Amino acid sequence: MTIKITRLCTLLMFVLFYSACKRTPENINRTGIIPQPVSMEFGEGAFVIDEDTKILYPDAFAPVAGFLSEYIGSRVNAEMERIDEEDSDAIIFRQDQSLEKEEAYTLKVTPKNIEISASSPKGAFYAVQSLRQLMPVLSNNAISEEGEMGIPAVDIQDEPRFGYRGQMLDVVRHFFPVEFVKQYIDLMAMLKINTFHWHLTDDQGWRIEIKKYPELTRVGAYRDSTLIGLYGEEPQQWDKKRYGGFYTQEEVKEIVKYAQDRYITVIPEIEMPGHAEAALASYPELGCTGGPYQVQGTWGIHKNIFCTKEETFSFLEGVLDEVAELFPGTYIHIGGDEAPKDHWEQCEVCQALIRSKGLVDESELQSYFVQRIEKYLNGKGKQIIGWDEILEGGLAPNATVMSWRGTKGAVEAAKQHHNVIMTPTSYCYLDYYQYQSDQDDRNVLAIGGYVPLSKVYSFDPIPEELTAEQKKYVLGPQANVWTEYMETTDKVEYMVYPRAIAMAEVGWTAKENKDYESFLYRLQPLIEHLEAMGVNHGYKPEEVEKEKQTVAAIGE
């Protein structure tokens, strides 16, 4: 009898044991992630996330744990129970001050646990982004049918090469809804990009509500007609349709918060003294000529720029007061690019200012303009960034330079001990063509240029001519997305992905760990993730292959 009971018990224990043992799901993603981490090694087996998975985290990491729980919840339809002691079958977050950099993390997955360590929530957030990419692709981001997801056993140690990893979006030339901007930010987060540069004002529109100056959005947010087809083509064709839109301050706050929740800082750009015609159309007294001005429907460089009269400065200060309140980050981008000086040359007020301040020419006047704005913003605890034209006529004392016309500006600024952000057109302009075949296809018009995927990938943000000391001023790279030829969100996505994915690796991955073939291999599951999210990416493997040969032939 006792023997029988013992046998029965043993049997029962076996049954219980095996039913508790999880079956490993089949579609485990062992391809790798982007950006490539400092070190990453796959191990044996997998961890299975399902309805029994628990979560442990210090209070400091609560927002990150919340982000992960919500994400997992949406995919396995289960809420993870928070536990307060280490256990198996759990995702365990640890705050570990020995990881010095705030963006560094470790992620260790074994069949027993997922362990994430970081010194700050930001590092933990990046571990979660890596984990996200290790999850299987579920079509349409749907809930897994089996209610479970397998994560491959892996050991990752990671930290970024650059502290600044940016991506810009021009919402002026074409305007995009809040929901789209959020998705853009979400994909940036997934790629560990930490700065969203938001180009909000230009000749073709003013896109941010400023309560003190309502005409900016009543008048300045709309144009009467937009150029169709290529900019240089004659005769020009116009669509004769009113076009525009703007973000209310509530929407701006919503986007800033959405970005903040993903550890992304938003840098607003308010253009001055050039690219300002939408503002002048709203308040013509701010120009030198009195107008008439119009919200432009064509691209390029326009001569109607802000006049250097006192009225302009008090207007800009009023605008920047509100902007500074809305954006908690340190930086405000003040533009500074492409400002033709024709009107200043003819303007009595400007010429009198040149004389009274002892300036030599209009370039120095622009420098005076920028320095005055810098001083005002520094007084509010903000720092300015400007396009590399702000070097002309003398740099403002604390300005950061965004180098876009090659890297000359960066080298010059670093030599003067100023911080620089690297966005040279030939590597970082995602509005340029990505495929040669697109240049022959009227359906995928672009502004010009040719920046294929491999070219983006090959970018080294540190100019060779800098000394070790000067290199420290290079904060990092940024991809720019100007939208003259991106009329729809689909077109933006087509142009941006996969090239922004390559730029993410440029900003994060150590130079010696970069490898284009490996990148293309790791790109595949990420593209599937994008497809599941409904992103209209432009990845065409056969074109990428062709483009590699073309680039090799050009010798770059």
- Supply 431's token pair: 């509005």
Q: Shortest approach of ligand TNX to residue 136 CB, angstroms?
A: 38
Kindly state the DSSP code that residue 330 receives in the 8-state scheme: S
Q: Shortest approach of ligand TNX to residue 538 CB, angstroms?
A: 17
199 catalytic? Reply is no
Amino acid at 375: K
Q: Assess contact for 114 and 43: CB atoms under 8 A.
A: no
Which position among 283, 429, 497, 539 is part of the footprint of ligand TNX (CB under 6 A)?
429
- Supply 119's token pair: 């010194």
Nearer to ligand TNX, 134 or 168 (CB): 168
Nearer to ligand TNX, 144 or 366 (CB): 366
Question: Which of the residues 174, 197, 199, 275 is marked catalytic?
Answer: 275
Q: Assess contact for 209 and 284: CB atoms under 8 A.
A: no
Which position among 50, 362, 431, 438 is part of the footprint of ligand TNX (CB under 6 A)?
431
Q: Would you call 8 exposed, middle or buried from its count of C-beta atoms within 10 A (0-12, 13-18, 19+)?
A: exposed
Contacts of 463 by beta carbon, 8 Å cutoff, 6+ apart: 407, 410, 411, 414, 474
* 392 near ligand TNX, rule: CB under 6 A: no
Q: What residues between 224 and 253 interact with ligand TNX by CB under 6 A?
A: none
Return d(Cα 275, Cα 261) in angstroms, integer. Answer: 32
Question: Which of the residues 52, 338, 361, 543 is marked catalytic?
Answer: 338
Nearer to ligand TNX, 431 or 438 (CB): 431
Evaluate the CA torsion angle 310, 312, 317, 318 in order and state its sign: positive
What does the buried/exposed string (b/e) look like for 267-283 if buried means 16 or more CB atoms within 10 Å of the residue's CB? bbbbbbbbbbbbbbbbb
Q: Which one, of 382, 424, 403, lies nearest residue 268 by Cα? A: 382
Q: Shortest approach of ligand TNX to residue 430 CB, angstroms?
A: 10
285 catalytic? Reply is no
Size of interface with ligand TNX, in residues (CB under 6 A): 9
275 catalytic? Reply is yes
Nearer to ligand TNX, 174 or 514 (CB): 174
Nearer to ligand TNX, 431 or 505 (CB): 431
Q: Shortest approach of ligand TNX to residue 341 CB, angstroms?
A: 16
Amino acid at 303: K
Q: Shortest approach of ligand TNX to residue 480 CB, angstroms?
A: 6
Evaluate the CA torsion angle 32, 35, 36, 41 in order and state its sign: negative
Give whole-number Cα distances, 502 to 360, 433, 475, 499, in Å: 44, 15, 18, 5
Question: Which of the residues 50, 103, 170, 202 is marked catalytic?
Answer: 202
User: Hey, what's the torsion of the CAs at 444, 450, 452, 457, to 10 degrees?
Assistant: -140
Q: Shortest approach of ligand TNX to residue 203 CB, angstroms?
A: 9
Q: Shortest approach of ligand TNX to residue 484 CB, angstroms?
A: 6
* 198 near ligand TNX, rule: CB under 6 A: no
- Supply 83's token pair: 């536990």
* 337 near ligand TNX, rule: CB under 6 A: yes
Nearer to ligand TNX, 111 or 461 (CB): 461
- From residue 346 to residue 385, the character string flagging contacts with ligand TNX as x (rule: CB under 6 A) and all else as - is ----------------------------------------
List the alpha helices (DSSP H) in 425-515. 425-428, 436-439, 453-457, 468-471, 489-496, 499-508
Which position among 283, 315, 387, 433 is part of the footprint of ligand TNX (CB under 6 A)?
387
Nearer to ligand TNX, 36 or 423 (CB): 423
Return d(Cα 23, Cα 50) in angstroms, integer. Answer: 11
Evaluate the CA torsion angle 546, 547, 548, 552 in order and state its sign: positive
- Supply 124's token pair: 């933990």
Which position among 447, 475, 523, 544 is part of the footprint of ligand TNX (CB under 6 A)?
447
Q: Shortest approach of ligand TNX to residue 372 CB, angstroms?
A: 21
- Supply 90's token pair: 């759990």
Query: To 10 degrees, what angle do helices 499-508 and 516-532 make?
Result: 120
Nearer to ligand TNX, 63 or 448 (CB): 448
Cis peptide before 35 (omega within 30 of 0): yes
Q: Shortest approach of ligand TNX to residue 173 CB, angstroms?
A: 7
Side-chain-facing half-sphere of 548: CA atoms under 13 Å: 10
- Supply 198's token pair: 């938001």
Which position among 57, 369, 404, 450 is part of the footprint of ligand TNX (CB under 6 A)?
404
Q: What residues between 463 and 482 interact with ligand TNX by CB under 6 A?
A: 482
Nearer to ligand TNX, 108 or 197 (CB): 197
Q: Assess contact for 191 and 263: CB atoms under 8 A.
A: no
Where in the sequence numbering do the catalytic residues fall? 202, 275, 338
Residues binding ligand TNX (CB under 6 A): 337-338, 387, 404, 429, 431, 447, 482, 484
